[in-house]
Every structure is written in structure tokens, then in C-alpha cells.
Structure 1
């Protein structure tokens, strides 16, 4: 019979929980699913004979990774039937929710752009890439997690990097993000609300692309919008309508914050009833190259819980009485 879990064992798991969530989020692209996977790992831990576990961190990493690989296989089928573009679930990153983000590789590993690219990899390729790049696992350790040879881990890693580089075309897979990029969300919001199309276009790259993820549960464009003029006009119209939409559906109470989301500048738009939208900007050479807007309410619960305690968020505008 498995040994019962004691207080020490629970403490051991809780000490590992933040790291496990950080791994699971990168593997799944969903904070909600990551929390579920971590909870499943806890159930396995609770039922295990701890006298046979010599290295809890390694044991938990292996269990969690395999739980995530199973979830990824099922998620692929669901995402093929997803209404409109699928985007990762947004997470605010100034706190420690996704682990250390001190290096270029660590920050890029949680970016919307890379998480979307990771969807092109096989589950095994994604696991090897994440463990190696974001958490600096050695191939010997990865091999133990995935029950493969060290040589096979190296081969899968090389294949994953080659596929990602091919998808990225000429842009570096990992790119430093200047601090000045942080103000781009504020400039964008000011230009969008002013209604000045010229100011808005000035912030956008010529080949800018805008994606919206409503998942069939909120109004969103079902195809990407490409090109500076089309994107600027679309966004200008969107911001003109948003106050009216909020007034009709939830009453007065619109609040807009600038924040860091998935290591990129972003806007977080909330109402009295919770988050309404998260707009994440991918910036290259000082101009916005991609805009990803998440309005699917199922994907906004985690960031809604983060916002009241978030460091670094800045109130830009509010219709609430002061």
C-alpha cells in the first residue's frame, strides 16, 4: 500500500508548486490547464510511496511533464475545432508566477509569439525545448524525464530549434527587448482614443498583423488583419465602440491598465464584472509588429485574479467615479 502523505510531504510539494506551474504553462499555453495539471501531479504525489522517491523535484517534474504531454495530445483535437484564431492564455509576468525571467531565453519562453510557435512542434519536441531553454535542464535530465536516451533528447532538441527557426524566418528566435518598449502600450492607447489615425499608424510596422481570440464566446475577428492601414482603421473603430458596448452590457465602469503580459507590453481592459480584454503587443525595432487581443472570457480568469496584486501595472483611464 502507498504510504500516506504527511505534513512534510505536503510542504515538499508546495515548495515545488511554482516551478511545476511555470513548466506546465509553457508546455500547455494555458494557465487554467497548467493549474489542473499541477493539481493532478499533486494527486499522484499524494498517492505515491514516498519512501521510494529519492529526488522529489525530479519525480514531480517527470510526472507533471507526462501529464502535460497527454493533455497536449487531447488539446490538439480541441484546437482544430476552435472558433477563430487560438491564442495562449495571458499571464502577467512582473511577479514570479512563471518563474525567473532574468535572461532573454527565459523571457522569450513565455512570449505569445513563441508559445504560438510551440504549437507547431510535437509534444515531445515541445517538452525537450521548454525544459532545455527555459529551465536549463541537461539532456541527461531530460532523457530521464521522457524515458529516452540522452542522444535522442539532443536530436529532438535540434529538430525543435530547426523547426522554430524556419517558422521565424529572418527574425532571431531569441531577441532582447529594450526597456523603452514598455511605454508602447500607453502610446497606443492614447493614439487609439484620440481618434488620430496618423498617430496610430506611426506606431505600427508596415506589415503589422492583428489577431483576436474570442473562441466563439465573445465578438472577435475570425481572421487576422494585416497591414498598417487596415489594422489602424480596425483598431480605431474598435476603441470607438468599446465604451458603448460596455455601457449597454455591464453599465459604467471601464478601466484600462498598461501592464507587462507574457513579458511584452500590454493593455488590460476591465469592467465592474471583471476583465474584458487583454491586448498584447509584440514590438520590433520600436514599432508594433503584432497585436494579439484575447477576449474569450474563459482565458481571462487567471489574469483577473492577478491584477489586484500586480506589480508594475499602471492605470491609464477609468470611467469609474473617483
Structure 2
């Protein structure tokens, strides 16, 4: 049996892309060190931040909650809170919300939960049903657009200075490849480890797990005995992301480390694209009054396109 690369204990895991073997203790330490390094590299936080963590109840967000809760204890003037979005997906969301709430209670972390129904007047199941008669987007696209707006709304509501999400390396690389396939230059500009706020209109978003592959995060959650929702969202298989995910996983199996190479390459491309996105004039949506570069924000636009009655989010 192989020994841990970093101590004399028996290894439990070999990491192909780094060529290292780990015992349980050294593996956990390596993951937490990776996150700390990522935070430092991209200057994600300041010692006085009130950080809202987007906690879905899955392995990534709950692992992030564990790690940031540990790091936060070293900075007495900082604070970590959790926010959860209930999209309204039948026979799926309630378990995740319960697990998120249990973990927050264990850590003594303030937890805020809001639903699509509260914010928009409709849950995701209702929105997807409305889209069946002519909607142009996938269920995942509707959900993603509305979730992003909801997270920013709630982060502002709870006075967070930063919004931390559990996006891992796989998530980021999948988005990069999808935007390339779609020829979506604007979205390519918006991908990044740190997405800056704009004059208090958007809370700055950070992604501390962006250098960690999904499998690494999953093993960390298992070794830390984190209870998370393991079943996949019932809408997941309807998206292009599923095909891209499989394609990238096949590549990674044959060429260990290729996901990180893609991440680094796209980062260079983004730097070359420049800051045109930042120069756009930010206005108020004429319907919900939230920030947008056009007359109507994207979330109000997609709901309107489905013939759904629009309203100002009830949170405001």
C-alpha cells in the first residue's frame, strides 16, 4: 500500500493530476490550504468583511461553509452568514434546505432562506411549465438567471460585503467551454474568481473553490463527514452543461490536469478581452428597479417572454 507523500501514514487517495498520495489528515489539510491560497491570490476578502455564503445544501457549498467558518475564526472582526434560495423544485429542494439549516445551526451561523415564490411570485416548476408552450431557454438557464438575481438581492438585504459561492473548477471550466461554443463574448468576460461589485449595485462575488476539481471537493466532504444532498436536480439532464461535463470528464481521465489548463487559458483570454463590460452604463430596470445595462433586466425579460405577470421582488 502506498504511503502518504507528506507523512509516513498509509495513503487513502492518489491524486492523478498532481501525482501525490494522501492520508486522511494530509488530504483535508491540502484542500483547506488550496482554498486559503486561492483567497490570498485573488484578494477575495478583507479582515472586516461580512461574507454571505450561498448554501444550496450540496457538497460544494457545505464544504465551503466548513472551510470559511474555520478561516473566519482567525479574523474576529469578520463575519460569515449563509443564504439559501428555495427555487421550488418538487421532491428535491426540501431535503437540501434542511441539510443546509442543520449545518448552519451546528456552526452557529446566521441563516437566511428565501424562495423564488417570495421574490418573483412563481416557483421554478411553474416557470418551467410556462416555458413548455414556447420558451426558448432550458430550465437550467431560467433557474440560473433568477438565482443570480436572487442571491444579489438577499446579499444586499443582509448587508453582506461579499457573496461567496461554491463554484468549483469543473463548474468554471464547463461555463467557459459553453460560452465558447455559444460564441458568447460578454458572458466570457463575466466569468472569474472574483466578480467586482458596481457602486453598491451588485455585491462582489467570490469563488474560493475555483481551483478545486469537483471530485476533490466531494472527497473532502466525505472525509469531513459533511451531510449533503447527493441526488441530482431533476432538471439537470435537460441542459447543454450535462454534455459538456461528460466531454470534459472524458478528457480529464485521458489527460490528467487538462481542466486546470483550460481554466488558466481562459483566464488569459479574459484578460485580453479587456474591460468593456465594466464600461456599460448601469440603470434601473423599469419593472423591478434592480440594476441592469438595458431597459429591462434579464430576469424580468424572461418572465415576461413566458407571459407571466411581472412584479417588483417582494423582498424589497
TM-score greater than 0.5 by the shorter chain: no
TM-score range, shorter chain: under 0.3
Query: Which is strand-richer, 1 or 2?
Result: 1
TM-score (norm 2): 0.24
Query: Which is helix-richer, 1 or 2?
Result: 1
- Asked which structure has the greater CA Rg, the reply is 1
